[in-house]
Amino acid sequence: MLVTFDFDQTLTVSRWDEENEDFVHMGPNLVMVQCLKAHLDMGNEVHIVTSRHEKFEKVGHHDAPRVSDFLRSEGIFGQISGIHFTNGEWKADTIKRLGSLRHHDDDEEELIRLHEDCECIHVPTGWLGISD
């Protein structure tokens, strides 16, 4: 089975930084990283589909880790079948093209756009809210 995961606020946890008016990376979402690893252990093909712009993967962006660096730090980079950047576009076309049967994402707007053959897994806990 081919399974896809969003990156920001799904595999990672962030908090809102009022001063910089941007999210600050806090670390991995341990529950979702474990879920991804379980799919790998079951022999499923796993892809990352992110709306990030690919240009930031090369140079980095603010405090957020590059997707490839994060996956390396979790020891799973070589096991991921693909990383797909939609460059700000909706993920549905990429997910359909890949043939994903299950997609994990924190954004309900992304999930409602998925094709009917894809099981939608909403991840509600990928960010920590507004900082004090």
Question: Which pLDDT belongs to residue 96?
Answer: 97
Domain span at 30: 2-130
Spans in the chain with pLDDT lower than 50: 130-132
Query: In the chain, where does DSSP find H-type helix?
Result: 30-41, 54-59, 67-73, 92-98, 108-112
Question: Which pLDDT belongs to residue 125?
Answer: 63
Residues 48, 86: contact at Cβ < 8 Å? no
Question: Which pLDDT belongs to residue 90?
Answer: 98
Domain count along the chain: 1
Specify the CATH number for the domain of residue 22. 3.40.50.1000
Question: Which pLDDT belongs to residue 57?
Answer: 80
**Cα(26)–Cα(76) distance, integer angstroms:** 19
How many residues would you count in the chain? 132
Question: Which pLDDT belongs to residue 130?
Answer: 44
**Cα(62)–Cα(60) distance, integer angstroms:** 7
Question: Which pLDDT belongs to residue 60?
Answer: 61
